[in-house]
Every structure is written in C-alpha cells, then in structure tokens.
A = this chain, B = another copy of it.
Amino acid sequence: MTTIDSTTQPESRPARAGQVTPNRVTEFSHVGIQVRDLSVSLPFYRDQIGLEVVSEWLVEDAHTREAVDLPEASLNMALLRLPGTNAYMEVIEYRNVERTPVDPYHPNPGTCHIAWYVDDIDELYHRLVGLGLDPVSRRVVPINGGPLDGGKVIYMTDPDGIRIEFLQSDLYLDTTARPSV
C-alpha cells in the first residue's frame, strides 16, 4: 500500500501555476440515485427517512442533457438534504429514455449503498418492515468490535431495492483522526 504524503493533497483550491501534483478532487458534492418513480421515492426519503426536500423540478436544460449525453432526456428529480446540514442527495427519475432496472443486490458490481446514522434503529427497522420493504438484515444486528463497537446496524432497501444502511452508535467514526495507509 502506498503512503500518501498529505503535503501533496491540497485542502482548498490551489493556484494551478507551477503545480506539480496531479489534479485532484477538492470537495464532495453529492450522491445521486436513479429511481423508477419519483412520486414513490420522494415520499419515502422525506417521510420515512426524514430528509428535507430542497428542490423538485423537471430538468430539461441543454447543459445537463449534453453532460449525460442524452439529448432527449428529461430528469424528473428532487434535491433532498439532511436537515440542518449541507449533505444532500439527488433522486432522479429519467424520462424519455429507455431504462432497465438493475438488480441492486449488494454484492453485484456496479451497485451502491448509502449509510446514515439514526437515533433509534429498532423503531426504524420495525417501521420500515411494516411498510413492506425488504429487511436485508433479519434483525437489528449488534456490532462487536471495530470503531463502532457496541453499536447496531441494519441493511434495508429503498423502494427500488437500493441498499440503505443504518447505524446507531454512541461512537462517531472520525476518519480524520486516523492516519492514511
């Protein structure tokens, strides 16, 4: 494994002139998920997960269509945020293009999962199961060992089968306190 010299990793946007390090990403922006039906996913993420809807609109502008290389596409989408933070996600329903739902079974290469902390994982688990969602985890699972020792974890699915992970812990994983390898 390679040791990364943190002095070569700019934390803010540097002047380009004379820079000898490769161009790097500077900030995380967001994660987006693509869904079958925004009218199903939006109430799920708003009412069950507790995200706030910041914007909801039909994207048909030329630069978005060019960026995704789909000149006819319409993106029926919403931008949601964790209340009180700038952590946001996009939920996008593509229209006017052929779509084939993928199998979001988590071992499948090309899939993703999204993880949040929650303050009552048992209540959440039973509520989401009560909605008919697939509880990947057959029970709320105690965490033994590691940085969240003593916490609890579940994997669930969203309405498209996308895996969402919930963690409850009195501990907080601060990766900035850990050296890189």
Contact = CB atoms under 8 A, between A and B. Distances in A.
Given A6-B83, A53-B1, A29 B174 contact: no
Indicate the size class of the contact surface on chain A. Answer: 35 or more
Chain copies in the assembly? 2
Given A68-B155, A99-B109, A110-B104, A46 B4 contact: yes
Interface of A: 1-2, 4, 6, 9-11, 13-14, 16, 22-36, 46-56, 61-64, 66-70, 73, 79, 81-88, 93-94, 97-120, 123-124, 127, 136-139, 141-146, 153-155, 160-162, 165-167, 173-176, 178, 180-181
Given A24-B83, A25-B117, A33-B111, 4 more contacts: A31-B31, A34-B111, A70-B107, A81-B180
